[in-house]
Amino acid sequence: MSSEAKAAENYVEKPKTLAELRAEFVSGQTKAVDLAASYYDRIASVNPRLNVYLSLTKERALEQAARVDALAAKGDPLPLLAGVPVGIKDVLVMKGAPATAGSKILEGYRPPYDATAVAKLEAAGAVLLGKINCDEFAMGSSNENSAYGPVRNPVDTERVPGGSSGGSAAAVAANMAVATLGSDTGGSIRQPASFCGVVGVLPTYGRVSRYGLIAFASSLDRVGPFAAHVRDAATLLGVIAGNDPKDATSSPAPVPDFAAESDKPAEGLRIGVPAEYFAEGLDPEVRAAIEKGIAALKAAGCTVKPVSLPNTKYAVPVYYLIATAEASANLARFDGVRYGYRSPASETLSDMYSHSRDEGFGAEVKRRILLGTYALSAGYYDAYYLKAQQVRRLLAEEYLRAFAEVDAIVTPTAPTAAFKLGEKTGDPLAMYLADIYTVTASLAGICGVTVPCGKTAAGLPVGMQVLAAHLNEGTAFRVARAVEAAGI
Q: Is 264 one of the annotated active-site residues of the chain?
A: no
Cα 45 to Cα 38, 42, 270, distances in angstroms? 11, 5, 46
What is the Cβ-side half-sphere exposure of residue 383, based on CA atoms within 13 angstroms? 6
Cβ–Cβ under 8 Å, residues 36 and 87: no
- 253 found inside a domain: yes
- What are the b/e assignments for 200-225, b being 16+ CB within 10 Å? bbbbbbbbbbbbbbbbbbebbbbbbb
How far out from the chain centre does Cα 226 lie? 7
Burial class (CB in 10 A: 0-12, 13-18, 19+), 291: middle
Q: Is 219 one of the annotated active-site residues of the chain?
A: no
- How high is the pLDDT of residue 432? 87
Cβ–Cβ under 8 Å, residues 112 and 339: no
- 375 found inside a domain: no
- 456 found inside a domain: yes
Residue ranges making up the domain that contains 420: 3-276+282-308+397-486
Cα 87 to Cα 100, 170, 259, 355, distances in angstroms? 15, 11, 21, 33
Q: Which of 164, 165, 250, 328 is catalytic?
A: 164
Report how far residue 422's alpha carbon sits from residue 425's, in angstroms, rounded to the nearest whole number.
Answer: 5
Provide the residue type at 366 as one letter: K
- How high is the pLDDT of residue 430? 86
- 286 found inside a domain: yes
Q: Which of 6, 16, 31, 89 is catalytic?
A: 89
In the chain, the number of structural domains is 1
Report how far residue 102's alpha carbon sits from residue 279's, in angstroms, rounded to the nearest whole number.
Answer: 34
- 68 found inside a domain: yes
How far out from the chain centre does Cα 147 lie? 19
Note every long-range contact of 372-377, with CB atoms under 8 Å and residues 24 or more positions apart, other chains counting.
372/323, 372/324, 372/325, 372/326, 372/327, 372/328, 372/329, 373/328, 375/321, 375/324, 375/325, 375/328, 376/325, 376/328, 376/329
- SS3 per-residue string spanning 364-413: HHHHHHHHHHHHHCCCCCHHHHHHHHHHHHHHHHHHHHHHCCCCEEEEEC
- How high is the pLDDT of residue 303? 98
pTM exceeds 0.85, yes or no: yes
- Three-state DSSP class for residue 83: coil
Residues 6+ apart with CB under 8 A from 19: none
Report how far residue 170's alpha carbon sits from residue 161's, in angstroms, rounded to the nearest whole number.
Answer: 6
- Three-state DSSP class for residue 450: strand
- 326 found inside a domain: no
Cis amide bond preceding 164, omega within 30? yes
Q: Is 188 one of the annotated active-site residues of the chain?
A: yes
- How high is the pLDDT of residue 6? 62
Tens digits of pLDDT across the chain (488 residues): 555 656 656 665 789 999 999 999 999 999 999 999 999 999 999 999 999 999 999 999 999 999 999 999 999 999 999 999 999 999 999 999 999 999 999 988 999 999 999 999 999 999 999 999 999 999 999 999 999 999 999 999 999 999 999 999 999 999 999 999 999 999 999 999 999 999 999 999 999 999 999 999 999 999 999 999 999 999 999 999 999 999 999 999 999 999 999 999 999 999 999 999 999 899 999 999 999 999 999 999 999 999 999 999 999 999 999 999 999 999 999 999 988 899 998 889 999 999 999 999 999 999 999 999 999 998 899 999 999 999 999 999 999 999 999 999 999 999 999 999 999 988 888 898 889 999 999 999 999 999 999 999 999 999 999 999 999 999 999 999 999 999 98
Cβ–Cβ under 8 Å, residues 192 and 182: yes
Residues 6+ apart with CB under 8 A from 271: 294, 297, 302, 303, 304, 305, 406, 407, 408, 409, 410, 479
Report how far residue 342's alpha carbon sits from residue 108's, in angstroms, rounded to the nearest whole number.
Answer: 11
- Three-state DSSP class for residue 459: coil
- What are the b/e assignments for 319-353, b being 16+ CB within 10 Å? bbbbbbbbbbebbeebbbeebbbbbeeeeeeeebb
- 406 found inside a domain: yes
Q: Give the torsion sign (CA, 253, 259, 264, 265).
A: positive
Report how far residue 479's alpha carbon sits from residue 407's, in angstroms, rounded to the nearest whole number.
Answer: 10
Residue 271 belongs to a domain with what CATH number? 3.90.1300.10
Report how far residue 210's alpha carbon sits from residue 223's, in angstroms, rounded to the nearest whole number.
Answer: 7
Cβ–Cβ under 8 Å, residues 52 and 34: no
Q: How many CB atoms lie within 10 A of CB 455?
A: 18
- 189 found inside a domain: yes
Cβ–Cβ under 8 Å, residues 356 and 336: yes
- How high is the pLDDT of residue 414? 97
